[in-house]
Structure 1
Amino acid sequence: MRNREETCKKILETAYVMFSEKGFDKTSLSMIAADVGISKPAIYYYFTSKDELIEYLFDEICRDISLSNTFDYSDISRTNLKQKLLEIGYQSIDEQASDKHFNKIFNQYILLASRDDKYMTRLLDVQAGYLKSYQDLFSYAVEIEAISATNIEAKAHMLAMVIDNISNFMLTGSKLDYKGIWQEAVESVLREQAL
């Protein structure tokens, strides 16, 4: 018999995939339990309802997004700012390419948010944090005199929006040079920001 932590992890992994592929409405706790290899009544030990599972998974996804957008400034300098910005985008693109389910499930949550203020509020918080992380990074770049202070908020938000739209296009399966697009966006912003 599996221990509780392993079973809970398997439930979350299975729900993540099923919700992304079938949507919330067409995925039942019975389907998740069957795929995990437990009975439907056993799943209630972990989650009292499908809604609770959906909310828990959403909280996990939001936490992961927040952590992935917490930038480490310790190794950013005047000479490597461009390279570090490129790496941030490339890492995001690579992560998206390796997880075909993320945008699908995230879009499910966006649809849910259109009907549920609790989810909308949380999505807006995630979005605000995402934009702030880029703005903080640019503010740090000004502090170390890597860029000028001219329009840094707009430039930071532009990069955040570019990488967000790259992930939306990746979801559709469009075959574009995403890393090249990111590079052009970074170079454009830094060209206009040069001291």
Structure 2
Amino acid sequence: MKRTSTYADILNTGYRLFAEHGFEKTSMTMIAKEVNISKPALYYHFLSKEVIIDVLFEEICKSIDFANFFNIQHYTKDNFEEKLIADGLHVITKQKVDDNYSRIMKQYQALGYRNPKYSQKLLEVLNGFTTGFVELLRHGASIGAIHDKDTLVRAQMLNMIIDSIDNFISYGFEYNYADIWTKAVLTIVKGEDT
């Protein structure tokens, strides 16, 4: 079993505590106690709670980058639709199994109203999905898996659907997200009008 570093333990603990108690109510003392280190040791790794919040935000944004879920090189003419469905379902499943993700992302969205660096980074992540879907659809067209028609609009639709599913999950709606994503992909990829 691989032992995690104190730095990673602090981030993982901060992630959980921030999700459970919020940024305001989580203290450095709470984090140090949970990690089982002294406060000076915690301050050795992170100068402040705000630094933990910032580093954690960067790590979360990296983890939800489009390329982490959709590897364009793995898409072929024979597997394009099925792979797009499966990769999107992986995004959805990842969120559903991590209750802390929705809670902490709501807090970062709220921070975005006060501090534009958070809202700008979240917009970059969303735009990254649109750009990624455009590249993926263009790849699909170049290999003859799909038609090269309304690529940008279809990419935006895929992004809007996956982001809406993300939001609905965070609100606790129990919809059949797998069927919704599958139907959306088949409709959008085949270029059918809805």
The reply to whether TM is greater than 0.5 is yes
Q: Is it true that 1:66 corresponds to 2:65 in the alignment? A: yes
Q: CA offset at residue 192 of structure 1?
A: 2.0
1:37 corresponds to which letter in structure 2?
N
Unaligned runs of 5+ in 1: none
* Secondary structure in 1 matching 2:120: helix
Counting only pairs closer than 5 Å after superposition, residues 176-187 of structure 1 correspond to structure 2 as 176-187=175-186
1:69–1:130 CA contact under 8 A, matched in 2: no
| Structure 1 residue aligned with 2:56 | 57
1:69–1:133 CA contact under 8 A, matched in 2: no
Q: CA offset at residue 175 of structure 1?
A: 1.2
Q: CA offset at residue 122 of structure 1?
A: 1.6
The answer to which of 65-74 and 155-164 deviates more is: 65-74
| Structure 2 residue aligned with 1:147 | 146
Q: 1:29 to 1:67 in 2, by over 3 A?
A: farther
1:113–1:120 CA contact under 8 A, matched in 2: yes
Q: Is it true that 1:161 corresponds to 2:150 in the alignment? A: no
- Structure 1: how far apart are the matches of 2:91 and 2:138? 21
Counting only pairs closer than 5 Å after superposition, residues 5-84 of structure 1 correspond to structure 2 as 6-66=5-65, 68-69=67-68, 71-84=70-83
* Secondary structure in 2 matching 1:54: helix
Aligned-residue sequence identity (percent) comes to 38
TM (normalized to structure 2)?
A: 0.91
Report the RMSD for the aligned CA atoms in angstroms: 1.8
- Structure 2: how far apart are the matches of 1:117 and 1:137? 30
| Structure 2 residue aligned with 1:112 | 111
Instruction: Map Cα deviations across residues 136-171 of structure 1 (whole Å, 9 max, x no partner).
Output: 101111111222221111111111111111111112
2:170 corresponds to which letter in structure 1?
L
Runs of 4+ in 1 over 4 A off after TM superposition: 67-70
* Secondary structure in 2 matching 1:44: helix
Q: CA offset at residue 46 of structure 1?
A: 0.5
| Structure 2 residue aligned with 1:122 | 121
